[in-house]
Amino acid sequence: MNKFEELFAQYPFALNDEQVKAQTADIIAKHAAENNNAAVWKQCLHQIDLTTLMGDDTYARVEKMAACVNHFADHYPALKDFNVASICVYPALVPVVKANLKAPGVGITSVVGGFPAAQTFIEIKVAEVAMAVKEGATECDMVLSQGKFLEGKYQECFDEIAEQKAAAGNAHFKVILETGALKTAENIWKASILAMAAGADFIKTSTGKIAVNATPEATFIMCQAIKAWKEKTGAIVGYKPAGGVSTTDEAVAHFTLVKEILGQDWLNNKLFRFGASRLANNLLTSIEGSEQKYF
């Protein structure tokens, strides 16, 4: 038995895909309604990594996003304590965010690790992390090498995470599993355990760049893994669903799963984020009771 077989044996996951689906649906059916209220909508807004990750991103687009975040409290004084958690961009646009972002308490997130496919050399991934942090990123979202993981090259995946984590220094470090590519509950569970063992501060579902992104089932599995990890090691790891979470109801469903599985301690933007762009305006619309197109 190699060390990864031993690692996974310490964290057995007994549910199959159909059982995961059924248990996920049951939690949402029983508890989502109690969380579908303005207090939760505000908290979800406060947990957003406001994101633009398009090939045609420009300095002007990112400057405008930063300006919206800077002046959020002026436009929504009643929500001044619920501004977004960070602005998330490609590495080359980190300096633009740093030069323009003035809102207190809002971080700068950079995707790294050869985002979105992770199909580049580890030396480039490490350099990209280091450069993003040097230019001002306070958080880094790296991508698991899904191809290597699916081939069972767990040591290579582990080493890539650990090396990029080291390059990030004090920056908050999230590992994107790309759960839609991993497909099965067992794979998502193992990838979660591996990422946490390698030093992830957060585990994140998706890049938002493939057909299947954050699903409630992925949230159920990953939160169960975080819970098991804390129970055995005492370490607290955050969670971020990203990609495909755009409506208030979808956000509430993920919030409900995190609350029921991980508990109140995770219901803050230090341990729970949404990777989203459209979600912010939709939550604002729910909160304000009229259509909002602020961001």
Q: Which residues are tagged catalytic? A: 141, 204, 240
Q: Is 202 helix (H, G, I), strand (E, B) or coil?
A: strand
List the structure tokens of 28: 């949402």
Query: 116: cis peptide before it, omega within 30°?
Result: yes
Contact 140, 129 (CB under 8 A): yes
- Work out the burial of residue 292: count CB atoms within 10 Å of its CB; fewer than 13 is exposed, 13-18 middle, 19 or more buried: middle
| DSSP letter, residue 93 | G
Whole-angstrom Cα distance, residue 98 to residue 146? 31
CA 156 to chain centre: 22
Strand 86-89 and strand 107-111: the pairing is parallel
Whole-angstrom Cα distance, residue 113 to residue 161? 9
List the structure tokens of 168: 């990030």
| Helix or strand (DSSP H, E) at 188 | helix 185-197
Contacts of 144 (CB under 8 A, 6+ apart): 118, 157, 160, 161, 175, 176, 177, 178, 191, 195
Q: Scan for tokens 């957060």, then name that residue.
A: 202
